[in-house]
Structure 1
Amino acid sequence: MPEYRNATASLKENTAYVNEILPVQESFDIVQRNMMIGGREAAFFFVDGFTKDESMLKIMDSMMSITEEDMPKSATAFSKSHIPYVEVDILVGFDQIFHNILSGTTALFIDGYEGCFIIDCRTYPARSVDEPDKDKALRGSRDGFVETIVFNTALMRRRIRDPHLIMKMMQVGESTGTDVAVCYMEDRVDPELLKKLLRKISQIRIDALRMNQQSLAECLMKRKWYNPFPKFKYTERPDTAAVCLLEGKIVIMVDNSPSAMILPTSIFDIVEEANDYYFPTLTGVYLKISRGLIAFMTVFLTPLYLLFMQNPQWLPEKFEFVAVRDMVNVPLIWQLLILELAIDGLRLAAMNTPNMLSTPLSVIAGLVLGEFSVSSGWFNSEIMLAMAFVSVANYTQPNFELGYALKFMRLQLLILTAILNWAGFVLGVLVVVGSICFNKTLTGHSYLHISRN
């Protein structure tokens, strides 16, 4: 960080230094507004688009009515008697002043007063707090996090009206100075984990959080490329974040990111979703069991099918009907791998298809890629059925990263089974079990560790 000097009582010196550091003349959105307040020269600095026009109009209107006799001797007295706004602070260091101006607050310099008045009448462009598309619940609240961190913390504060709820604001990134809020219940959080986390965040030395939350996660814990299982739980629902806070967990919010990062976590936390809390106990347990069984099947269904097709003598008589009867023009392993890639291609195409075209293109894709790929001999119908189940079952997982981690486990199982037959399948199962059991989270605990908070 560059070394900045302190503000003085001279308006000319202060404004000259601001113009030297900030591109006031070159950048149209950084505005300097000069005016007279109580017979003294004054200057406002603010970012156009971040300031509430109505609030600033009222503040300026009230200040223009101040006479020279009304001007107090100290800046503190002026702040108390003549700035009719809620959030007002006086700063001396230009490092804090520049950070506040670029964050959207309004800076006021008055000749004769040492320091700078910071008026927090900013507003950020934001969308409505609608329910997130990926993390929906059949019952419960219909609001969701947005890209503005203050709105997100307010959504959690609305649910937890407890003085023990602490939201500590920090800044990360030399260039961006991105706001990071660490939220926790003071009387329930693990103090050692909290201390370790705050120390890690304060020690981050990075130019910018380019990808916001993901960049922060990479800084907190280096990801091992060979283990795809997620280290954190993410949610876009404020009710889920509030429940985790009450359980003694820590919630991290990053400005410009519409989701919360929750820790400590385990695989049991990651597979949970909001519906588990909103339904009766029996229904919630059933949903968890069914989701776990489906996740198990998405990993092992196609590798097991391939194993039995390579060893048809192992197939019981009652299940002989599932065997491939038609001519196999393309080896089964290549059919499965091509379909794995094709499903991801269709998913990416659906994400980038305009809404008005999504329905007709989905029909065309279903007819052409489904019916005609089988009739032309590229794929067998049994393989298409198995992959159709796997592709749909992947969406039962509320965590997107976990879904892809299971996909990678399935791919390595398929490849090892095709190369080494039953020995490859056993080896692949050991890899899956090892990837889960030896995966460490930020706390240093195993992925299977159950928190007792």
Structure 2
Amino acid sequence: MDNQLIGTELSGNLEKLKAAFAHSSDIIFREFKVGNGQKGLLIFVDGLINMKLIDEDVLQPLIAFASQSPQSLKQLESLVSERVITAAQISTGTEIAGLIDHVLSGDTALLLDGLAEALFIGAREWDSRAVSEPATEAVIRGPREGFTENLRTNTSLIRRRLKTPHLKMESMKVGRLSKTDIVISYLDNLADSSIVAEVRDRIRKVDIDAILESGYIEELIGDSPYSMFPLLMTTERPDKVAGCLLEGKVAIITDNTPFVLIVPMTFYGMLQASEDYYEKFLFMTAVRWLRFLSMIIALLLPSVYIALLTFELEMIPTNLVYSIAAGRETVPFPALVEAFLMEVSFEALREAGVRLPRPIGQSVSIVGGLVIGQAAVQAGLVSAPLVIVVSLTGIASFIIPNYSHAITIRLLRFPIMILAGTLGFYGVLIGVLFLLSHMCRLRSFGTPYLSPIAPLRFGDLKDVLIRAPWWRMSYRPEGSTPGNQRRLGNQTKGNPSKP
């Protein structure tokens, strides 16, 4: 159907379209006659349109239309689109391929005999999930709204929070078969134009048959594809997206998924939550320290345990050594193998709890962990101290707010455990140095992954390890916005000045 134009004969157009939509029971062809006797045809997908709107604003006015003998067919088309059809959104097209794309996207196509052009009527409507609280980013204080699988619902949730003409929503289609709608959202007076252009260019270069979820886009446009660290942030929260847009970042909204991508992103941004800015800054600073500590525990605690038992027993207090030795007396495995057995079992239970239905999954993960841990200790397969270590590690990994970042920490734990079991604390140090050097080389759309610490920017440190009060954060992050950095006025509490 490429490059084929719509003909003037309605019967020929109908034959081509029925051939294109053969064996498609959901494609409806509604033939009718306009009030003046001219033949017409409506084409739409059952389930993707508002039938009531099509009946009342399109079909009934056309059938009741009494022609005033227009001088040309072009005049008839103008008369129909301007005076007869009362639907709000109308566009035109002259190609068969374009007509098919519009129909499959949810528009209704109108063809009139004698006109080599189609009218596309916007009357899209389909069943969708209601706006509800995000399951993966729950908060104690803050909005309870989360994105849905409907693209326009998601863009409206952002537009409600940023009522400014500077908020731009650029639409694109990606996927040869899926033709998935993607929207690039940014504030044109805050976002770096070079980053916006880079995002736009990378998405345009994506050549794939279908985009079913934003994860496709994340993997296809991200930097350093072999790195385990997430270089694009995903979120279900409109308030989080709005906050990132206000810092000069760019959001990528994909149809059919509630997860929105945010670029560029840094390592420290993954440890921040939208709730950090809704509570008192002293409380949230303490919570951030807890998150950093939890991340270190989730990454290194099993490795430290293995290194101590394998190479550095003299560093453990004597009474504690006796207690650990008594617990390990019947364990037949070295510390490394023992830790691997427990960690793999714990991760399997956690994954099972996620995949099973929610009521069953919670029972499996909690009861399974208790039963298997207790049974393993009684059977002498693992020691009780290791069960405590694995439990603390699992709890610490749950505190990391970003799911992709938490998965990365959970997986990186295993190679560091191997290094600890073979080289002791030297192995742990080698693993940590390798990770730091790797992160120093990473870039997210040109932004250093460890900024603002590497490279160091003192002005941005007030929102990294701590959450400074709002009157001390009068300027946006330096690395995100090349201009218009001030966000608080001089009359705000504390009379802030740029540090």
Q: TM-score, normalised by structure 1?
A: 0.94
Tell me the distance in 2 between the aligned counterparts of 1:102 and 1:276: 43
Letter in structure 2 aligned against 1:61: Q
Q: Please state how far the C-alpha of 1:20 moved relative to its aligned partner.
A: 2.9
Measured in 1, the distance between the counterparts of 2:412 and 2:144 equals 34
* 1:68 partner SS: coil
Instruction: State the shift of 1:254 in Å.
Output: 0.7
Seen in structure 2, the aligned counterparts of structure 1 residues 361 and 424 have a Cα distance that, compared at 3 Å, is closer
Q: What code does the residue aligned with 1:64 have?
A: I
Q: Are 2:102 and 1:103 aligned?
A: no
Distance 1:5 1:362 in 2: 58
1:234-249 counterparts in 2 under 5 A?
234-249=234-249
Of the candidates 116, 120, 123, which is equivalent to residue 121 of structure 1?
A: 123
Cα drift, residue 105 of structure 1: 0.8
User: Residue 31 of structure 1 corresponds to which residue in structure 2?
Assistant: 28
One-letter code aligned to 1:219: L
Secondary structure of the corresponding residue to residue 179 of structure 1: strand
The secondary structure found in structure 2 opposite 1:135 is coil
Q: Aligned in 2, Cα 1:353/1:276: closer, same or farther, shift over 3 Å?
A: same
CA distance in 2, matches of 1:198, 1:224: 18
Q: Following the alignment from structure 2 to structure 1, what is the Cα–Cα distance between the partners of residues 54 and 234?
A: 38
- 1:58 corresponding residue in structure 2: 56
Structure 1 partner of 2:168 = 166
More deviation, 172-181/68-77 = 68-77
1:44-443 matches, within 5 Å, as 44-59=42-57, 60-69=59-68, 73-209=75-211, 211-221=212-222, 223-225=224-226, 227-310=227-310, 311-316=312-317, 320=321, 323-326=324-327, 327=329, 328-358=331-361, 361-362=364-365, 364-441=367-444, 443=445
Q: What SS is found at the alignment partner of 1:3?
A: coil
Aligned to 2:181, what secondary structure does the other structure show? Answer: strand
SS state of the match for residue 14, structure 1? helix
| Deviates most, 259-268 or 327-336 | 327-336
Q: CA 1:367–1:124 in structure 2 vs 1: closer, same or farther (change >3 Å)? A: same
Helix, strand or coil at the partner of 2:109:
strand
Q: Write the deviation string for residues 30-69 of structure 1: whole angstroms up to 9, x where unpaired.
A: 1111011121100111011101121112121222211233
**In the aligned structure 2, how far is the partner of 1:271 from the partner of 1:321?**
38
Cα separation, 2, equivalents of 1:384 and 1:70: 87
More displaced stretch, 239-248 vs 6-15: 6-15
Query: Where does structure 1 lack aligned partners over 5 or more consecutive residues?
Result: none
Larger CA deviation: 67-76 vs 54-63: 67-76
Give the alignment partner of residue 39 of structure 2, picking from 31, 35, 41. 41
Map Cα deviations across residues 170-218 of structure 1 (whole Å, 9 max, x no partner): 0011111111100011111100111121112122222222x42111122
Shift in Å, 1:320: 4.9
Report the more deviating stretch, 355-364 or 160-169: 355-364
- Distance in 2 between the 1:143 and 1:94 partners? 40
In 2, Cα distance between equivalents of 1:113 and 1:95: 17
Aligned length: 447
Tell me the SS of whatever aligns to 2:443: coil
In 2: Cα distance, 1:322 partner to 1:42 partner:
88
Partner of 2:472: none
In structure 1, distance between residues paired with 2:398 and 2:50: 42
Amino acid at match of 2:61: S
Return the letter of the residue paired with 2:48. Answer: F
The 3 A distance-change label for structure 1 pair 159 and 318 is: farther
Report the identity percentage.
Answer: 26
CA contact (8 A) 1:253 1:261 kept: yes
Is this contact kept in 1: 2:249–2:480, CA < 8 A? no
Deviates more, 1:128-137 or 1:111-120: 111-120
Looking at structure 1, the residues matched to 199 and 176 of structure 2 have their Cα atoms a distance apart, in angstroms, of 19
Question: What does the per-residue CA deviation read over 1:132-163, in whole Å, with 9 as the maximum and x for residues that have no partner?
Answer: 11101111111100111111001101111100
Distance 2:164 2:197 in 1: 21
Q: 1:8 Cα shift?
A: 3.2
Distance 1:146 1:392 in 2: 29
Per the TM alignment, residue 393 of structure 1 is displaced from its structure 2 partner at its CA by: 1.3
* Corresponding residue SS for 1:285: helix
Give the counterpart letter for 1:35 in structure 2.
Answer: F
More deviation, 191-200/415-424: 415-424
> Is residue 349–residue 365 contact of structure 2 (8 Å, CA) maintained in 1?
no
Distance, in Å, in 2 between the alignment partners of 1:137 and 1:62 is 50
- 1:264 and 1:408 map into 2 onto residues whose CA distance is 23
Q: Any conservation in 1 of the 2:224–2:442 contact (CA below 8 Å)?
A: no
Secondary structure of the residue aligned to 2:326 is coil
Give SS of 2:114's match.
Answer: coil
Q: State the alpha-carbon separation in 2 of the partners of residues 373 and 329 from structure 1.
A: 12
Aligned partners of 1:167, 1:21: CA distance in 2, in Å?
32
**Cα deviation per residue 1:296-345 (whole Å; 9 max; x = unaligned)?**
11111111111111220122558657744321322211121111211121
- Tell me, in whole angstroms, the C-alpha distance in 2 between the residues paired with 1:291 and 1:299: 12
Unaligned 5+ segments in structure 2 are 453-478, 482-499
CA separation of 1:251/1:307 partners in 2, compared to 1, >3 Å: closer, same or farther?
A: same
Which secondary structure state, in structure 2, belongs to the residue aligned with residue 5 of structure 1?
A: coil
The answer to whether the 8 A contact 1:188-1:247 is kept is yes
Residues 48 and 106 in structure 2, CA contact (< 8 A), matched pair in contact too: yes
Deviation at 1:368, TM superposition (A): 2.3
Partner secondary structure for residue 140 of structure 2: coil
